[in-house]
Amino acid sequence: MRDFSYVRANSIEAARKAAALPGAMLLAGGTTLVDLAKCGVAQPETVVDITHLKGLDTISVDASHATLGALAKMSHVADHAGIKSHFPAVSEALWQAASAQLRNMATVGGNLMQRTRCPYFRDPSNFSACNKREPGSGCSAIGGVTRGHAVLGTSQACIAMYPGDLATALVAFDATVHLGQRVLKVDDFFLLPGDTPEREHDIRAGEMITAIEIPGSAAARRSTYLKVRDRQSYEFAAARAAVGLELEADGRTIRDLRVALGGVATKPWRARAVEEALKGKVLDEDTVRKASGLAMEGAVDHGANHYKIELAPRVVARAILKLGETA
Amino acid sequence: MTSQTTIHLTINGRDHSLNVEPRVTLLDALRDRLDLTGTKKGCDHGQCGACTVHVDGERVLACLTLAAQVEGREITTIEGLAGADGTLDAVQAAFLEQDAFQCGYCTPGQIMSAVACIREGHANSDDEIREYMAGNLCRCGAYPNIVAAVRQAALEVVS
Amino acid sequence: MTVHNIRHADSRHGDASDGAVGGRLSRVDGPAKITGAAKYAFEQQLDGLAHAVMVEATIAAGTVRAIDTRAAETTPGVLLVLTPDTIMEIKGASDWLGNPPTQKTYSPLARTVTYSGQHIAAVVAETFEQAVAAAALIEVSYDETPAIVDLSDPKAGDGIPIDAMTKEWGDAEAAFAAAPVRICAAYNTQREYQAAMEPHGLIARWQGEELTIWEPSQWLDGMARTYAEWFGVPFENVRLVSPYIGGGFGSKALALAHSAVAAASAKMLGRPVKLVLTRPQNFTSYGGRAATRQTVTIGAGRDGKIQSIVHRGVNETAVDGMWVEPLASVTSIMYATPNFSSKQNVVRVNTVVPGAKRAPGENPSAFGIECAIDELAHEVGIDPLEIRLRNYAEQDPEAKKAWSTRQLREAFASGAERFGWSKRSPKPRSMRDGHQLIGWGVAAGTYPVRRAYGEAIVRILADGSVEVESSSIDMGQGTYTILAQTAAETVGVAADDVVVKLGDSRYARAGVAGGSRLAGVMTGAVYKAATSALDQLVGLAISDPRSPFHALQANTLVVANGRLRSPRGDGPDVSIAELLASVGRDRIEAAGDTMPANSTAEDRYKNYTTIATSIPHTEGNYSRHSWCAHFIEVRVDEDFGTVRVSRVVSALDSGRLYNPKLAESQWKGGIIMGIGQALLEEGIVDRRHGRIVNNNLADYLVPTNADIPDIEVISVGIPDLHSSVLGGKGVGELAIVGVAPAIANAVFHATGKRVRDLPITLEKLI
Ligand SMILES: Cc1cc2nc3c(=O)[nH]c(=O)nc-3n(C[C@H](O)[C@H](O)[C@H](O)COP(=O)(O)OP(=O)(O)OC[C@H]3O[C@@H](n4cnc5c(N)ncnc54)[C@H](O)[C@@H]3O)c2cc1C
Ligand code: SF4
Ligand code: FES
Ligand code: FES
């Protein structure tokens, strides 16, 4: 790891200013930043420690919305009673992410900013070609080991999967990211790789995530998060789905449905085609399984990740069916 | 550019002052500078849990924590877990009794994690213990005995 | 400073008999390990310690054209940058069989690259952080040549036949052709890694011509010999210290290239140097288990009786090193067959030389034969347990010798009973719970009893306590504990009054801790030394005129609970300490070894520093093996293809257990590693770069706590005095053997799908 200088920010303003300087990076939980600095991927000249800022770690929840301070820890949000009852998918996404220790360190703001786990991205000394790291250098993953790579939202330049669990739940429920002056929908905050895979977020120099806001809804209240992976725990997903469901008074007809996917896409992926296909329909297994296939519209595989195209719709279907069973 | 700074750390109730570069992690500060080698390094990337310590009472990974970042916080390592008179913590005693380790290299991390797991209220069933202890890899495969030890200690802590 | 010799007053649980051999004594090294007091080898704090890091090749084949070290050399704190051109000359060393070196010099930093990850340079700096930063600045240019990436590479070819692996009896081909039932299938295992939680590393310090190495080691004397030969110093000048080992699983028995670099840089700098491999380097600096391919062909009658087995195996090895993973080791002994043929090739690929990982040979071998017999059972419609009993080998089919002991039938019976095997519904895909398909599988395992000679020193000290010294090691198998129990029982003191010192090559010598041989070897040596110490003690008590027993004219005495008295109970009753005081002795010391009586000093050296003298398991009239049977339940999600092991019952025959508590833990550990092998573990190679890309603990998946159910282990062993002095067979490797096939068989039962290619990942089932 390159040497850097360390400053501890004592106000949001100071943090923003310090972070706007060239070579400066914010340090929240450090679980992405320190890791990538050791890999030689992140090379900060200055690390701006925001972990001692006061007031940015609050979690407030009521029926109409939840506000998560950017520095709220993943573990605290996961265990928060209000989140559990009003946004179960958010709590489940969080407690199934990483490990208990990492969740005690990692912040929700940092979580949105985490980088891909593409092994080529993470190993600059062995793989010099990576458009995300070095624009224009090429993509080592294409033609290489692609089992964990995305099938949705890919480009010629990059097929890296976005690994975060939380954001998958957030896009399902139309959450927004507060960046000081600007407030963006999570869906818009994350960018497709296109020709500029190095740009992953719509965030500008001098901006900092201060909070995440999630509007409450009946679908959010009846929601779940399903994560499928090789190992039972402490692993990123092969495929995952956040789903929220609201039924009509008849208890069978779908009034509102939210579906977002992860583990298969280059950014948190809202599956609106599935939602539209099922709204107004009676919830039954065949209909749900058929509609879930729509989640994969436009999917492109790179060999070893082909299984994701089969797997992801099943994860979506099972998540919806599970909600249907919980009357 | 080598920028040594002096930092003050409170570890196991004792104050230490250290002259280190900002890039030094808490783990390397403990192991290489303070002769507190009970905290282990298994991967240096947050992937194994061997370096688990408590910061302000919560379990975290020392390998992804900068030493500078935890100035002013209470740090507890495995060396600080037993009582001053050497009385073992309930979790330590349970690990010994249940044979919850073999080579012992993951063990300090497991124990620090287990103490926190119980404190967090995540030790209510065997499945919950397994899930909330999953961040501590054990290649010797002591898992079933670790679950037994955490279950036993959780009961003792409550009663 | 270096040995754990704390007295563990509170280490005992249960009753006093726990301290005897066979008792459930808690680990005597436990208190040190659970408090963080146990200092592992490279955790020593030394004055003036410098830190080294290795730089590896990023190509799989070719030559190093140039190494630009200028930027690294001017980085703050850098003391030394080593390349093939600047490292001191190191001599060639003999191999582990004691064969003399083929090259006069040895270059641990390569000019010719034969695998990605090979060490080509090193940086030594004042701090670890400085060394890491400088190493990243080293620029290397190469002339790259095409690499053979793995067994499936078209360039790999059929490989080299290993004639020594050929086993044949009867006429297997003809018998197969004539058999009414024939099955033939190919089974693959992938590159797997030991992935001990403690990485490899060491501290090296020179004091004049004396070298001290603190390095986790499964074989102090063997590694000390290598260092001595590398640096041209007498064997006695090298001291290896390895008080605790954070897991080895076969990987920590040899001094490796990075070890040589650390010792060389310490010599060049005149300072102690610490070098610890990064986790990714732990995937390429030494070999894991070689990838293997086997075809198993069985010809049988409709009654399921095997008439012929034809087996062909291949394992990968390195371009510049040989590793043979004996793939027929279980195939040839598990079942009775009148006709048998096995042949094996090795294929050279651009990898680090593969190495030993828990049960090398037996493990992949069992995957082949134990799946194949399951396929046969399905084919002929016989229960998989029943077919194993029908083909039960009453003697070693290969050696044609009686088994020393074989409690495999008992293992099948008690395992099946505890598991509830009789309730199994025979049809595949016939058991389910919601979306989960349930499958039950069985498989057997075995491991030969590897034997060797060992030595130990036992001292009875003035305070009546007993001290045991040996340069053998404890990497979690429980050596400290079982040797304490052995000495305690033999001398007649409480286990708490025994201090065991291990892990220092200055102590009495020991051979390799591998192949599950150490417990048998060392309990034998300690038993002998302790017996002779006891004889001396009793002799003194009887014959020394100052002894209170002198007047008794007894010809023997009883020592129990640290006290001496006459067998009839008359006369004095004194503690060992009092006796020693009365005769004016401050200690009694006895060396014991199990070497043949007329062994020369040279024989001894060879015995402890090579593996050339280990005793064949079929020596004499018996064939000696440990045995086990695994019964495993899996749950396969019908949508996702994810497999979770939900129940394990294993019955094992390791002979007599010196400490059941610790043996059970080792068995469970082996089973868990087998679960990893079956479902998760696989080194994934980028075919264009010939490089392992999942070289870390987030991507090379080992099981977590959440992947492991409760595991029930049952001991069915009986003392086997043909196998060891005290009747134990092997514990450490046995239990992993047969786990992967039991899981594969259970997956077949759950899904109707036969996966013959490990690991069984979800994409193979959806
Ligand atoms: C072994 C391992 C396993 C993991 N498994 C999972 C998993 O299963 N699921 C999952 O979702 N995640 C997983 N993670 C990732 C982990 O959740 C993220 O690393 C973490 O959430 C990042 O948060 P942080 O606070 O530590 O961020 P930091 O590392 O502090 O920061 C990350 C990045 O965000 C920037 N940043 C931080 N805060 C702000 C802010 N407020 N505004 C703007 N920029 C900011 C930093 O400058 C940096 O570039 C895993 C990580 C590891 C190491
Ligand atoms: S997939 Fe993206 S991150 Fe991975 S190597 Fe290609 S460009 Fe880099
Ligand atoms: S060393 Fe910190 S998690 Fe592995
Ligand atoms: S006890 Fe060895 S790794 Fe856990």
Domain harbouring B125, CATH code: 1.10.150.120
CB-based contact C114:C320 (threshold 8 Å): yes
Q: Report the pLDDT value the prediction gives residue C18, as an integer from 0 to 100.
A: 79
Are residues B94 and B28 part of one domain? no
A99 and B64 within 8 Å at the Cβ level: the answer is no
Check whether C6 has a pLDDT greater than 60: no
CB-based contact A119:C699 (threshold 8 Å): yes
Q: Is C438 helix (H, G, I), strand (E, B) or coil?
A: strand
- Provide φ and ψ at C143, rounded to 5°: -105, 110
Q: Which amino acid is at C698?
A: A
Are residues B104 and B72 part of one domain? no
Are residues B154 and B95 part of one domain? yes
Looking at the structure of chain B, the number of domains it has is 2
Give the C window 683-712 contacts with B, CB below 8 Å.
696-698, 702-706, 708-711
Give the end of a domain, one of B61, B80, B99: B80
Among candidates B61, B113, B134 on the partner chain, residue whose Cβ is nearest the Cβ of A233: B134
Are residues B108 and B61 part of one domain? no
CA B109, B115, B121, B122 torsion-angle sign: positive
Check whether C330 has a pLDDT greater than 80: yes
Are residues C94 and C21 part of one domain? no
Q: What is the pLDDT of residues B79-134, one digit of tens each?
A: 999 998 999 999 999 999 999 999 999 999 999 999 999 999 999 999 999 999 99
Q: Which helix (H) or strand (E) holds B30?
A: none
Are residues C100 and C18 part of one domain? no
A100 and B135 within 8 Å at the Cβ level: the answer is yes
Q: What is the pLDDT of residues C291-307, one digit of tens each?
A: 999 999 999 999 999 99
Instruction: For residue C319, tell me if it sits in a domain.
Output: no
Packing angle of the helix pair C362-380, C739-751 (nearest 10 deg): 30
- Alpha-carbon distance of C447 to C468, in angstroms, equals 29
Give the C window 125-144 contacts with A, CB below 8 Å.
129, 132-133, 136
Distance from CA of B82 to the nearest CA of A (A): 21
Terminal Cα-to-Cα distance of chain C (whole angstroms): 56
Best probe of the A interface among B25, B55, B66, B110, by most A CBs < 10 A, is B66
CB of A141 within 6 A of ligand 2: the answer is yes
Over pLDDT 90: what percentage of chain C?
A: 90
Alpha helices in C199-324 (DSSP H): 220-231, 257-269
Contacts 24+ apart (CB under 8 A), C402-405: C402/C621, C402/C622, C402/C623, C403/C622, C403/C623, C403/C624, C403/C625, C404/C449, C404/C622, C404/C623, C404/C624, C404/C625, C404/C720, C404/C722, C404/C723, C405/C653, C405/C655, C405/C717, C405/C718, C405/C720, C405/C722, C405/C723, C405/C729
Q: Report the pLDDT value the prediction gives residue C613, as an integer from 0 to 100.
A: 80
Are residues C648 and C599 part of one domain? no
Q: Report the pLDDT value the prediction gives residue C700, as an integer from 0 to 100.
A: 98
Instruction: For residue B17, tell me if it sits in a domain.
Output: yes
What is the CA(B21)–ligand 1 centre distance, in A? 23
Among candidates A5, A31, A39 on the partner chain, residue whose Cβ is nearest the Cβ of B22: A5
Q: What is the pLDDT of residues C10-29, one digit of tens each?
A: 443 445 567 899 999 999 99
Instruction: Name the nearest CA neighbour of C258 among C241, C276, C231, C270.
Output: C276
Chain C contact set for B48 (CB, 8 A): 197, 697
Instruction: Name the nearest CA neighbour of C387 among C444, C333, C338, C453.
Output: C444
Q: What is the pLDDT of residues A124-177, one digit of tens each?
A: 999 999 999 999 999 999 999 999 999 999 999 999 999 999 999 999 999 999
Are residues C645 and C605 part of one domain? no
How does residue B2 score in pLDDT terms, banded at 50, 70 and 90? low
What is the CA(B107)–ligand 4 centre distance, in A? 6
For residue C635, the cross-strand partners are: C438, C644
User: Which domains occur in chain A, in start order?
Assistant: 5-49 (3.30.43), 218-324 (3.30.390.50)
The 3-state DSSP composition of chain B as helix, strand, coil percent (nearest 5) reads 40, 15, 45
Residue C282 in contact with partner chain B when CB distance is under 8 A: no
Check whether C636 has a pLDDT greater than 80: yes
Specify the CATH number for the domain of residue B31. 3.10.20.30
Q: What is the pLDDT of residues C517-565, one digit of tens each?
A: 888 889 999 999 999 999 999 999 999 999 999 888 778 899 999 999 9
Among candidates B64, B131, B136 on the partner chain, residue whose Cβ is nearest the Cβ of A30: B64
Instruction: For residue C2, tell me if it sits in a domain.
Output: no
Give the C window 435-474 contacts with B, CB below 8 Å.
none
Residue B17 in contact with partner chain A when CB distance is under 8 A: no
Give the end of a domain, one of C227, C256, C283: C283
What is the CA(B136)–ligand 4 centre distance, in A? 10
Instruction: For residue B55, tell me if it sits in a domain.
Output: yes
- How many C-beta atoms lie closer than 10 Å to residue C296's C-beta? 29
Are residues B11 and B76 part of one domain? yes
How does residue A325 score in pLDDT terms, banded at 50, 70 and 90? confident
* CA–CA distances in Å: residue A121 to residues A135, A155, C308, C686, C688: 12, 16, 52, 14, 16
What is the CA(B135)–ligand 3 centre distance, in A? 10
Take atom 6 of ligand 2 and give the residue whose Cα is closest: A139
Among candidates B42, B136, B144 on the partner chain, residue whose Cβ is nearest the Cβ of C710: B144
How does residue B61 score in pLDDT terms, banded at 50, 70 and 90? very high
Are residues B95 and B29 part of one domain? no
C39 and B39 within 8 Å at the Cβ level: the answer is no
Instruction: For residue B60, tell me if it sits in a domain.
Output: yes
CB pairs under 8 A between A and C: 85
- Considering every ligand atom shown, identify the ligand nearest to the alpha carbon of residue B46 and give its number: 3
Chain A contact set for C762 (CB, 8 A): 228, 230, 238, 307, 311
CA B12, B15, B18, B20 torsion-angle sign: positive
Q: Report the pLDDT value the prediction gives residue C279, as an integer from 0 to 100.
A: 98
Instruction: For residue B85, tell me if it sits in a domain.
Output: no
- Alpha-carbon distance of C475 to C38, in angstroms, equals 12
Element counts in chain A: helices (H) and strands (E): 13, 12
- Considering every ligand atom shown, identify the ligand nearest to the alpha carbon of residue A18 and give its number: 1
Instruction: For residue C340, tell me if it sits in a domain.
Output: no
- Considering every ligand atom shown, identify the ligand nearest to the alpha carbon of residue B60 and give its number: 3
Q: Is A158 helix (H, G, I), strand (E, B) or coil?
A: coil
Check whether C9 has a pLDDT greater than 90: no
Residue C699 in contact with partner chain A when CB distance is under 8 A: yes
CB of C247 within 6 A of ligand 4: the answer is yes
Arithmetic mean of pLDDT, C29-41: 98
CB of A206 within 6 A of ligand 1: the answer is no
How does residue C510 score in pLDDT terms, banded at 50, 70 and 90? confident
Strands C139-144 and C62-68: antiparallel
Among candidates B23, B32, B95 on the partner chain, residue whose Cβ is nearest the Cβ of C34: B95
What contacts B14, CB < 8 A, 6 or more positions away? none
For residue A19, the cross-strand partners are: none
Residue B149 in contact with partner chain A when CB distance is under 8 A: no
C694 and A238 within 8 Å at the Cβ level: the answer is no
CB-based contact C497:C480 (threshold 8 Å): no
Check whether C5 has a pLDDT greater than 70: no
Strands C587-593 and C455-461: antiparallel
Are residues B72 and B21 part of one domain? yes
Element counts in chain C: helices (H) and strands (E): 15, 32
Are residues B127 and B65 part of one domain? no
Residue C601 in contact with partner chain A when CB distance is under 8 A: no
Looking at the structure of chain C, the number of domains it has is 3
Report the nearest atom of ligand 2 relative to the CA of A127. 5
Arithmetic mean of pLDDT, A243-263: 97
CB of B51 within 6 A of ligand 3: the answer is yes
Q: DSSP string spanning A242-306?
A: EEEEEE-TTSSBEEEEEEEEESSBSS-EE-HHHHHHHTTSB--HHHHHHHHGGGGTT----STTT
Q: Is B148 helix (H, G, I), strand (E, B) or coil?
A: helix
Instruction: For residue C232, tell me if it sits in a domain.
Output: yes
Check whether B48 has a pLDDT greater than 50: yes
Instruction: For residue C579, tell me if it sits in a domain.
Output: yes
Q: List the subunits that have 3+ CB pairs under 8 angstroms with B.
A: A, C
Instruction: For residue C153, tell me if it sits in a domain.
Output: no
CB of A164 within 6 A of ligand 1: the answer is yes
CB of A57 within 6 A of ligand 1: the answer is no
- Provide φ and ψ at C621, rounded to 5°: -95, 0
Q: Report the pLDDT value the prediction gives residue C8, as an integer from 0 to 100.
A: 37
Check whether B158 has a pLDDT greater than 90: no
Give the end of a domain, one of B80, B104, B135: B80
Check whether C2 has a pLDDT greater than 80: no
Q: Report the pLDDT value the prediction gives residue C17, as an integer from 0 to 100.
A: 65
CB of A139 within 6 A of ligand 2: the answer is yes
What contacts A196, CB < 8 A, 6 or more positions away? A135, A157
CB of B106 within 6 A of ligand 4: the answer is yes
* CA–CA distances in Å: residue A69 to residues A56, A65, A66: 5, 13, 10
CB pairs under 8 A between A and B: 96
Give the end of a domain, one of B15, B46, B80: B80
Domain that holds residue B35: 5-80
- Find the closest chain B residue to A48 by CA distance: B69
Arithmetic mean of pLDDT, C486-500: 96
What is the CA(A163)–ligand 2 centre distance, in A? 13
Instruction: For residue C179, tell me if it sits in a domain.
Output: no
- Alpha-carbon distance of C743 to C737, in angstroms, equals 12
How does residue A5 score in pLDDT terms, banded at 50, 70 and 90? very high
CA C525, C527, C530, C535 torsion-angle sign: negative
Are residues B76 and B9 part of one domain? yes
- Find the closest chain A residue to C675 by CA distance: A231
Domain that holds residue C429: 395-449+618-764
Q: Report the pLDDT value the prediction gives residue C11, as an integer from 0 to 100.
A: 40
Q: What is the pLDDT of residues C460-476, one digit of tens each?
A: 999 999 999 999 999 99
Check whether C287 has a pLDDT greater than 60: yes
Specify the CATH number for the domain of residue C535. 3.30.365.10
Residue C763 CB-density burial (10 A; 0-12 exposed, 13-18 middle, 19+ buried): middle
